[in-house]
Chains A and B, each alone.
Chain A
Amino acid sequence: MKLFDLRGGVHPEGRKNLSAERHIRALSLPKYLFVPLQQHIGAPASPVVNVGDKVLKGQLIAVAQGAVSSSIHAPTSGVVVALGDHVAPHPSGLPVPTITLQSDGAEKWITCETIADPLALSPEDIAARVGAAGIVGLGGATFPSALKLNLSRSSGVQTLIMNGGECEPYLTCDDRIMRERAVEIIEGIQLIAYAVAAKEILVGIEDNKPEAIAAMQAAAQGTPVKVVAMPSMYPMGSEKQIIQVLTGMEIPAGGRPADIGVLVHNVATAYAVQQAIRFGRPLISRIVTISGGAIKTACNVEALIGTPVQELIDFADGYSQPAARMVLGGPMMGQQFTNTNIPVVKGTSGVLALTQSEIGQAAPSPCIRCSTCIRACPVGLMPVEMVSRIRASDLAAAVSFGLKDCIACGSCSYVCPAHIPLVHYFNYAKGDLATQERVKLKQEATKKLADTRNERIARIERERAEAAARRKAAREAKERAKEAAAQAATETV
C-alpha cells in the first residue's frame, strides 16, 4: 500500500526492548482500589453506590453525566469503603473525587450478557453497549468511544483507521496486546466498522513491531481489515499524522477526522469493544507497561482500574536505582507524578521510572535560532517564533504563528539544543488563551444581558409614550367630535 510523506518528526531512542518480550501478566488483586470519577474527557461520572454497599465485579458504580462523559464500573467484587478524595493521577497530585473499594478476594462477576452474533445487533445498539461499558479511547486521549461512534455514524465514515502506531518510546502495551490478542482485536475492529458503516478499514502499525504486524495480519486473514506497516517515527501514532501517512488527507484546521470521513480508534480500544459486546464485560482493566532505566524488571501487566501504581512498581521488582523522575504514559507526552499511591486509570498506558541520563535534560540556554525545532515540527509550526512571542506575552502573535495548531507532541523540545521547554510554553499559552476566551465570553454574555435589558426598558418607555399619545389623540378626537356634534346641533337649531 502506498504511504504518504509526513513533515518533521523525530527519532527518539525507542527503548522498547526493555519490555517488548515480556508477556502480559495479570497483577495480583490489590486490597484497595481507588477508582476516580473522572477518568475521561468530559464531565465526571456521578456515583450510584454508597459507603458500605457490596458490589460485584463489573457492576456500575458511577454513571455518565451529560453528553460527554463515561460510566465507571467496579473493577472487582467487594465493599465500597469510601466516597471521597484521593490523590489524582495528575502532575498536581491534588485530591479528586474517588470511590474506594475494598476487594473481598472473590472476584465475583455480575451476570454478563454473552452475544454469539453481535452483527445481529443494530449499529445504534453497539454504540449504546460501548457507552454502557464505560469504554474510552485507550490510546491516551480517553474520549468517550460511544460518542465518537455516534458522531461518526451520523457524518459518514469512509475510512476506519485503527491506531497501532505506539510511537512513544518505552511503551509496549499495544505491541503486546496486538501480539497476544490479535483475534479479539480484529473482531472488535469489525464491530466498530459495522457500527459506523466504514467502507475501508486500515490498521497502521509502526515497522518496529514486526511480531505485532505478523500476528495482526494472520488474524485479519479473510476479513476486510488491512494491516499496514508504517515507518517508525515519532509522532506517527498521533491522530493527524496517522491519517496523513495512511490516506494523504489532512484534517482541516479546527476540524475533526469525521470532517474528512475518517474515524481513528486505538487497537486496545477495539479489544475493549470486543469484550464489551461479545461478553458483556465493561472496561475495568487495561494493559500497562512498567519500564524505565530505574525499574528492575520492566514488564507489561493487565491491571485493574484503580490499582495503586506502587503495586505495579512492586510487581516489576521495584527500583534498580533511585528514579530521577516518575512518568505516567510515554516520555514524550506523559505526565510526571510524585506520589506512587495514584491509581491506574483508563488512560494509563505506562508507568516509567526514568534515570537522569534517560531524561537528558539540562538547564535552558539562549536560543540560537538554529531552527531544528521548525524542521522537527510535524505540523509545520515555527516554535522558535512562537516562544519569543509568548515570552513577550503577545499571545495573539503566537496564535498567528499557529499556537492553536500545536499538538503538544514534544518533538521541538526533544531536539532543542538549548533545552528550552518549548511545549511547556505552548501549553501555558494555550491555558492563558483559554482563560482569556472564557473571560471574553463572560463579558460578552454580560454585555448582551445588559443590552437586552436596556432595550427592554427603552421599548416599555416607548410603548408607554405611544399609548399615552394614542390616548391623547383619541381624547382630542372625541372632543373634536363632541364640538362638531354641538356645532351641528346649534346649526340645525
Chain B
Amino acid sequence: MTPIAHSPHAHAPVSIGKVMGTVLLALTPATLFGFWLYGWPAINLWAISIIAAIVGEALVVRMQGRAVRPVIMDGSGILTAWLLAISLPPFAPWWIAVLGSLFAVIIGKQVFGGLGQNVFNPAMAARVMLLISFPLEMTSWIAPDANAPGFMDSLRVTFMSQHMDGMASASLLGHVKTEFTRGVGLDQALAGYYSPLHMLLGSRAGSLGESAALLLLIGGLFLIARRIITWHAPVAMLLGVAVPALIFNAINANHYAGPMYHLLSGGLMLGAFFIVTDPVTSPNTATGQLIFGFGCGLFTWIVRTWGGYPEGVAFAVMLMNTLTPLIDQYVKPRIYGRDRKGAALTANKGA
C-alpha cells in the first residue's frame, strides 16, 4: 500500500532543477557575448569548468554513498561552475578552471553537506582562492578588440598557456589602481580608458562574462520577472556601491570615482543579480536581503577604494555570507496576531 500523503494535494509546477535552469538561461546572453568577445579560449574555459564540476561532484557524492543522478541533475553544480567560469580571465589556463570548479563544488559545497548547506557562495569562494593563490593567472586580462584566436590556437592558449602577443591588457579597475600607486590622479588615469557606453555594452577588458553590464542587467530583470529572485538584494548592492561613491566623488572627484564608473565596472552587475541573490548564502527575509545586499555593495566599494585588490565583489560577498545567519536571527517577519517581539497583540474589541 502506498503511504498516505499529507495535504496539500496540489503543488505549483516548480522544482530546483527548473529554478537552476532559469538562472542558467538568464546567464546565457552575457555568456554568449563573452564567447563572441574572446573567442574559443573562453568557450574552452567555460566547458572545462562545467565538466570538472560535474565529474568532481559526482565522485564526491559517490564516495558519500549517495545517489549521484539527482545531485547532478538539480543543476546547482553546473550553475556554480558557470558562475565561476564567467568570472575568470578568458584566457586563463585549463587548470585554473579545473582547480576552481573542484574547489567550488567539493570544498565550497559538498564538504558543508551539499546543496543548501554551504555558508559561502561556492563560486566566490573558489574565485577568492584562485585570486590569492594564482594572482598572475587571475589578472592576465585580454583586450577584447584584438583578433580572437581560432580553435586550434585556442587549445594552445588554454592547455599550453601560450601567450597571445599584443592582446594583453588591464581591466579598468586594475588600471586605475596601478595608476594610483604611481601617483596619477583619476582625470589622467581615466582619460582614453573609460567610456560609460563601452562599459555598459561590454567591450572592455575583463572577466569572461562580467563585461556586458547591460546583458547581465537584462538577465537579472528576467529572473525578477520570473520570480526566481526579488529586487531587494540587487538594488541594495548597487546602492551600497553607488551611495558612498557619490558622496566621496563629491568630496574629491580626482581621487574617488563616481557611481557610474563603479556600477559598470568589474563584477558588480554579475554580483548584484547572480551572486548576492544566491538563496543558500543570503538572508531569508526582504529586509535581511536589503541589509545583506547593501553590505556587499559597501564592502565592494571599500575594497576597490582602499583595499589592496582592484576588485572586491568576491571578498565582500564572502564577508557578508558570514553575517547571513546573524541577519536571519534578528530580522524576521512579524507574525499574525503578534507584535514584532513575538508577544500576543492586545485585543481591541470593536475598534
Contact = CB atoms under 8 A, between A and B. Distances in A.
A170 B114 CA distance: 39
A392 interface: no
Contact of A419 (B15, B115, B285): B15
Nearest to A427: B6
B337 A251 contact: yes
A243 to B, nearest CB: 10
B182 interface: no
A474 to B, nearest CB: 60
A240 B335 CA distance: 12
Contacts of A421: 6
Nearest to B333: A380
A384 B7 contact: no
Contacts of A361: 5, 9, 11
Interface string B315-345: 0000000000000100011111110001011
Contacts of B197: none
A250 B348 CA distance: 9
Nearest to A15: B10
A418 B280 contact: no
A81 B201 CA distance: 84
Given A12-B10, A359-B10, A369-B279, A374 B333 contact: yes
B120 to A, nearest CB: 14
A385 B336 contact: no
A410 B336 contact: no
B349 A156 contact: yes
B114 A366 contact: yes
A374 B283 CA distance: 11
Tell me the interface secondary structure of chain B in the complex.
loop
Nearest to B13: A360
B49 interface: no
A423 B5 CA distance: 11
Interface residues of A, number: 73
A486 B97 CA distance: 119
B74 interface: yes
A250 B347 CA distance: 9
Given A380-B334, A417-B16, A255 B6 contact: no
Given A7-B336, A354-B9, A382-B284, A261 B349 contact: yes
A50 interface: no
Interface string B1-24: 100111111111111101100000
Given A336-B4, A370-B19, A417 B345 contact: no
Contacts of B9: 325, 327, 331-332, 334, 336, 352, 354, 359, 361
B8 A379 contact: no
A154 to B, nearest CB: 13
A252 B346 contact: yes
Given A250-B345, A380-B335, A410 B19 contact: no
A199 B117 CA distance: 54
A370 to B, nearest CB: 4
A458 interface: no
Given A366-B116, A405-B337, A260 B348 contact: yes
B44 interface: no
B15 A250 contact: no
Contacts of B19: 368, 370, 417
B351 interface: yes
B7 A253 contact: no
B150 interface: no
Contacts of A331: 7-10
B347 A252 contact: yes
A380 B280 CA distance: 20
B8 A253 contact: no
14 contacts: A12-B10, A252-B337, A254-B344, A331-B7, A332-B7, A336-B5, A336-B7, A362-B11, A368-B16, A368-B116, A369-B280, A374-B285, A405-B338, A414-B8
Interface of A: 7, 10, 12-13, 91-92, 156, 158-159, 169, 199, 240, 244, 249-255, 259-261, 325, 327, 331-336, 338, 352, 354, 358-363, 365-371, 374, 377-382, 384-385, 400-402, 405, 408, 410, 413-419, 421, 423-424, 427
Question: 6 closest A-B pairs (Cβ-Cβ)?
Answer: A410-B8, A158-B350, A424-B6, A253-B344, A261-B350, A253-B337
Given A370-B279, A418-B16, 11 more contacts: A253-B338, A331-B7, A336-B7, A361-B9, A362-B11, A366-B115, A368-B115, A385-B328, A410-B8, A414-B8, A427-B6
